[in-house]
Each structure stands twice: as structure tokens, then as C-alpha cells.
Amino acid sequence: MPPQSLSTLRGFVFDLDGCVWSGNALNPGAGDALAALGRAGRGLAFVSNNSRATGADLRARLQGLGVGVAHHVLTPLEIIGVVIRERFGPSRVLVIGAPELAAVVAAAGHEVVDVKDYRKASVVAVGNDFDLSYERLTIAARAAASGAPLVTPNVDPRLPIEGGDFLPGCGAIIAAVAAAAGVRPIVVGKPEPPLFRIALERLGLPSAAAAMVGDSVLSDIRGARAVGMQTVLYAPDGNAPTGEADVVVGSFAELARLAGVG
């Protein structure tokens, strides 16, 4: 797709972690570019693979950072309980992850199983767990190896934070559980289709009229392309693989200029 065609798009869906922000700070130029797109009447939505926060949590965080155009914000926590119910019915779910993950699973009508009762679990849900221990890792793997389907919000190996550093992501944990259990996880978030499709529904746009802007080829670019969206890779370090994204930008100022608002 030629860069100038960004100016004809009616909407943009932005990844958050590593793209719009890193840790608790907006990336350079992000606030100005998003405000300009909003003033130009472009539809804007934000998606994150965060396994510890709801869309409402991240919307409040964006608005606290001055991003007033943040109305549509989605994470896998919006849908993981629904996905489990649709695929397996009301379930007994062993949750290895944040309290927020357990809360949304329970809110969807499932029974959250205590770790000491892991053998009773009919589904295992694994998110990023800042209290992860070898015992919890073992329990999740044993439950999944015993036949409980393994479900995860995402398989992102890293969580970017300030200063170019990172924390091990949900994908690092799920990889260990899946390897020990000898199973493949069911992924709810990017690069699977649900979050992209829901974002487009919220914007009221067909996939061809919107672009996904993100920093991950696997999660953002390939996932969005699979649902028919245009793709923009945010690569401020200039390290971008060829042939993956329709457009590569090195800054938000460049994105705004190509979109016709900068």
C-alpha cells in the first residue's frame, strides 16, 4: 500500500504497549498525533494484550496522560470469560495470573478453582503473574496435562517498559506451562481475530477502511492483516523487517504526516 493512502483511511486502531506508550509514559509525539487524528474526524480505537487490566482501566490511564480521544479501548479481559463459556460452557477455571483475570472469569459465570484444588479444574487460564512461583507453574502445567484446555490472553513474550527495558510477558509464562504440559494454548488476544473485529465494530468501519498501528509484527501486523486491515509498523529504532507491514513509520510525527493531519 503506498504511504499516501493512509490519508484516505477513516480510522486507526492503535496498539498500546510499546507503541502508544512504554511503561507509564507516552512515546514521543503520540499525544499530538492522536489529538490531530481526532480533530480530523478519524475514528480511533486502542487495543492491548494486557492480561491484568480491562479496557476501562487503560482508558482511564490514557486520559490521565492527556489522550482525550481514548473512547474505545479493548483488552483480552473483555472477552476471555465469554470465550471460555462459548467453547466449553460454564467451567471450573484454575486461574494463574492477576486478581483482575480471576474477577472477569468469575463475572462471566465460571467457578474459579483454588490452586490447592487444581485437579478439579476443567479449564486453565494463564495470564501474566507477578507472583509466579515454581509451585504455581507446576500446578498449571499439571492441570493442563490432565486434559483441562489451556487458555491465555496473549502470547507476547515481553512487556515493554520505560527506558527500553522490559518485563517477561504473558507469553513467556504460557510457553513454560504449555511446554511442560505438552499442549498448545488457546489465545484470546492478538494476533487472533476477536479484538481486531470488536475494535472495528466499535468504530463502525469495515476492515479495509482502517489501519492497525503497532510495534509487533506477530501480534499487530500479521493479526490485523488476517482480518483485512491495512497495517502500519511503528519502528522508531529503524529495525523493520521487509514485506510485513504496508507502511513503516519511525515516529508519530511521520504517521501524522502520512495520514494527512501533520
**Average predicted confidence (pLDDT) for the chain:** 94
| pLDDT grade for 3, boundaries at 50, 70 and 90 | low
Give the Cα-Cα-Cα angle 197, 188, 190 (nearest 5 degrees).
60
Q: Which residues contact 253 (CB under 8 A, 6 or more apart)?
A: 29, 32, 33, 262
Q: Which amino acid is at 160?
A: P
Q: 198: left (phi > 0), else alpha (psi -120 to 50), else beta?
A: alpha
Please state, in angstroms and rounded to a whole number, the distance separating the CA atoms of residues 173 and 156: 10
Over the stretch 215-234, which tens digit does the pLDDT of each residue have? 999 999 999 999 999 999 99
Structural contact between residues 232 and 255, judged by C-beta atoms closer than 8 angstroms: yes
Query: What distance lies between CA 208 and its chain's CA centroid?
Result: 21
Mean pLDDT of 63-90: 94
Cell of 224: 490485523
pTM: 0.83
Query: Residue 206, Cβ neighbours under 10 Å: how many?
Result: 12
SS3 for 237?
coil
* pLDDT confidence band for 113 (50 / 70 / 90): very high
Assigned C-alpha cell, 197: 473485529
- Domains of the chain (ranges; CATH) run 3-77+190-258 (3.40.50.1000), 81-187 (3.40.50.1000)
Half-sphere exposure at residue 253, Cβ-oriented, CA atoms within 13 angstroms: 3
Task: Write the pLDDT tens digit of every residue in 28-73.
Answer: 999 999 999 999 999 999 999 988 889 999 999 999 999 999 999 9
